[in-house]
Structure 1
Amino acid sequence: MFESITNIRLSITLQPVAGNVVYPPTFAPSESAPKGTPASHNWRPDGSVVLDTPQSQANRIEDAIMQAMRAGVLAYPDIRLEIPGEGTISVLELSHRAYDATLFHGLDANGTAFRHTAAGQALINATPTNATAVFEHAPIQLLVGAWDSHAGRGVLAAKFQRILTGEIVGLDARPIQRTATKIDPLDIRRDAATIYAHTDASIGWTLDAQHAQRDDRDKPVIRKASETGLGNTPSTTERGAIISSARHDLVLTATAVRRLRFPDPDTGALDPARDRAGQDAALAFGLYAISLLLDSGYNLRSGCQLVPEDEPQLELIGRTLKQIEHASIAEAHGWFTEAMKNAAKHGLSWRKEPIVLHASPDLVGVIAKSRELAGIATED
């Protein structure tokens, strides 16, 4: 299906929905920065500013897949962790995907830890040259990568590189500042009374020292009115950028996909036709994931809503940039359906039912302790 393709590229020109001002994400200073260095935007020497990082794009792709799964549009092989008082978490919401440390304490219906189950063991032992289990149980990892970094296996730990990379930047960017002030209609003054932090976080504050939180010297903890949300908030500064336009670049690296192998799980035998079918399915899944991402729109954050200028066109790149074919992203679903059917003919298919796990007592306990420290009560 994609025999002569080395890379698939998509470059979309975007405009802010209103005006030409956007508010980029802020990033914490590096560990080597002087103490007190404020968070800042990622300005680049070419005059652009980062509006969405590759890491954020990976999370948005996972969210788009999860929404399609929940809507019944995509039969994705989910792994779900049920936590009392917290609800159910999908593997698509976990930072390290199927290798997330949270799943170390996920138990199946028999009380077996996930990583000791057949699926868990297969994922632990997976490699790019033995990717059958990842295809079956965690195909998102073939697109955005994954690393079993908490396994304690060193260089033997499962690791998959990201083959689908995206980024959004604002072009011809210039920094601006906007000030904002909160006005309290009750006009509660700063020195109206001595306000204490309440022992009940849901109440927040009190005038009665008997109900106040206590410090290390057993003194009631005093709060400023502004710290409790009362009174006027002085002028604050939001840092944004004026841009001429924005560009969304996405690259799906077919050459990296061609390194994947999908041996028979029973015999370990390799079949070039089976490998090719799995590789094509991974690429087609990547294109379908891109289409789901684009369908979800560009509401990146408050003050940063973008819209494409035109319908996006895929560039299917051959061995050189002089060998480019164009295609519509609208074809992605058809390619995905065809590729998955062909993979199934070679014995490669996604798991049909979700794996449902429940949190171990230790995981439940540490979550409860964390909520207690935050002053948040959990449901029984």
Structure 2
Amino acid sequence: MRPDKTTEQEKPAAEGLPREEERLSRVALMRMAEAGDPVMGRLIAEHGAVRACVNARRGVLPPEFVERERERVPASRRGTDLDRLVTSWAARYADPAADLARGREGGSRFVIPGDPEWPTQLDDLGDTRPFGLWLHGRANLRLSCLRSVSIVGARAATPYGTTVAAEMASSLGDRGWCVVSGGAYGIDGAAHRGALAAGAPTVAVLACGSDVCYPTAHEDLFRAVRAQGVVVSEWTPGSHPTRLRFLVRNRVIAALSRGTVVVQAAVRSGALNTATHASGLNRHLMAVPGPITTEVSAGCHALIREGKAVCVTAVDEIIELVGAIGDDLAPPRKGPPRPHDALNDETRRVLEAIPARGSAGPAAIAVAAGVDLATALACLGGLAAAGFVASGERGWRLSGARRG
């Protein structure tokens, strides 16, 4: 790799450049560098997208930048990795205008930092912030993600998992929240469908081009997402998914929303990768418990047991975490009300002192309840009026309603 010898007159200034020039530069960079490349991210942050593109295309970098990057790696690897990286950038350059035209012809739009539709929460990703995003759909990405929750989980989900994901997404949609997920089989697909059923926008973050349908069986789902929400991609139209790209896109899923809910996940799962990103970004992390005999819930249980995620079982509990402080509190969970819940302590003790079978006199009941006789008689009168007890020849006994 040669140091950058470009003169100051040849170097385009980062400020005051036409937006279209920066847009084209970022389109080019999305082909040249892999999404989430921190070295390219630092180069753009220091020198702007236009100059970064010029440097990468020529295979040269500013000397001071090279020196700082080499200090980041062990001495034994200094230079080698960076040289290979820059060489690969230059080799992958393609005409950005053609990519931009292809995307627009397919119905996609390209947004970059500073655009009205750019979600500023992506800036939390720092050096790994997307260079730009391809969007395909009717919904506005930034506005949709102002109140959003990510729902992720296993592809090989159980009926329990897909039901929970769909119901949570639908309830969130009913409450005015957007659902973000990855468009995959299992939990992702169920979450998108639940949001769509509620008539709410949903965001599908793909590991391929915005015009590529993967998985192919989700063609109808993606069509519905585009009609009601938006499909998001960091890759040039026509790009196909790879295993690494699925992991890379998970950071965007976590960054776009206020919190992430893991519905089902095995101990080794891509959903746990999203959970790690959410924690690293200081987003709320939640997990749904499942049967302890189901391996596909083992990852959720580990997150809860290790204190990394909050256990949630209802949408109210999710919104309490991600919503406005003090305004979105979940109501306390209570069991079904019972008739004797309204009884005071003395009356309850008198009621408990009556034998389950047979009868007892008021004096025996008073002794067993630990109250005086007058109090026992007063309580027995109230209990009889309420239908809890009845008086007979042999004393007081429980009524049929109390026995049930």
TM-score by length of 2: 0.20
TM-score by length of 1: 0.21
Higher relative contact order (CA 8 A, sep 6+): 1
Structure holding more helix per residue: 2
Structure holding more strand per residue: 1
